[in-house]
Structure 1
Amino acid sequence: MKNRQMLARWLLAAISRSGWASATLFGCYLLASLVFDAYSLYWWLDSVTHFSGGAALSYFLLDLFDSADDVVGPIPHPIRMVLVFSCVSSAAVFWEFYEFLCDYFLGTAMQLGLADTISDLFFGLLGSAAFLALHRWQGAFSRAGKRARPAKG
């Protein structure tokens, strides 16, 4: 029981810190698709959404795994990066299954063929890779700045 409570606290804390990005993007997706039919009006919006989704999910997952020390122990930074990218890759595949199932059972037209599916996967993974690279690059500069500062005294 204690482990479940610890896991729940860990997950809820991460959602409250960084879940806003994915939730906001999903809300915008629902608004754009259901209210404004924007995906049929703007061909490029689908790619932007998948790219942003990959980045937003990476942001959430990196925050989740960065705070995992108390739950699973320390995770080395390179392993965290690979873990985040792998989870985003899996989420992108599951999202494409969702699109297929909606088309098949609900008669929607979310998937426009193989090229669209591959493009969606590509942009989702590109968004994740771009976020992780930017995160790594930003971390390298902040560490270099700390080393370059003279000691106060």
Structure 2
Amino acid sequence: MKPLPSLLLRAGWAPLVVLIFHHEIQHTSWRQRLDFLMHYSGGVAIGFFLWHALDCFAHWLGSLTPFARYLFTFALACTVGLFWEFAELFSDVFFHTRIQFSVRETMRDLIADATGAATTLTLTWLVRCCRKK
């Protein structure tokens, strides 16, 4: 199987599930209460996806040390979270939505994204350690 379809089957489902759930709750009374969980889940899902994406694009990136792979995945996941926040701001400014309420809320979202990505990488590390034994 080609690398991209393989990636989408192996790991693309995770961010897709989070996006679908986000779409379903965004206009409900639950949106505000579940915002942190949504960003945390997004960090988990995108971290999982990017970890697997590095396998698919190894011929372009070269061989990464385990530490570099963890660091690169975390940095990319945090970047995705940052650009998500940019998209929310763009929507608020140009489409007059009310997604971002305050700087504190936005920073909380970024912390949730980073924490989710760190959770994925911690679990990945634990699974890899257990498999070695």
Tell me, yes or no, if structure 1 residue 61 matches structure 2 residue 50. Answer: yes
Alignment of 1:107-126 (within 5 A): 107-126=96-115
Alignment of 1:124-143 (within 5 A): 124-143=113-132
Instruction: Please give the TM-score of this superposition, normalised by the length of structure 1.
Output: 0.80
Are the structure 2 counterparts of residues 107 and 80 from structure 1 closer, same or farther at C-alpha, using a change threshold of 3 Å?
Answer: same
Unaligned runs of 5+ in 1: 1-8, 145-153
- The answer to whether the 8 A contact 1:21-1:60 is kept is yes
- The answer to whether the 8 A contact 1:10-1:71 is kept is no
Question: How far apart are 1:69 and its partner, in Å?
Answer: 3.6
CA distance in 2, matches of 1:24, 1:85: 20
Alignment of 1:9-24 (within 5 A): 9-24=2-17
Instruction: Please give the TM-score of this superposition, normalised by the length of structure 2.
Output: 0.91
Unaligned runs of 5+ in 2: none
Tell me, yes or no, if structure 1 residue 27 matches structure 2 residue 20. Answer: yes
- Encode CA deviations 1:44-85: one digit per residue, 9 max, x unaligned: x10000000001001111011133344543222211111111
Partner of 2:31: 39
1:91 to 71, 80, 95: 80
Structure with the greater alpha carbon radius of gyration? 1
Aligned length: 132
- The answer to whether the 8 A contact 2:46-2:77 is kept is yes
- Which structure has more relative contact order (CA 8 Å, sep 6+)? It is 2
CA distance in 2, matches of 1:24, 1:55: 11
**Identity over the aligned pairs, expressed in percent?**
26
CA distance in 2, matches of 1:111, 1:73: 39
CA distance in 1, matches of 2:22, 2:42: 10
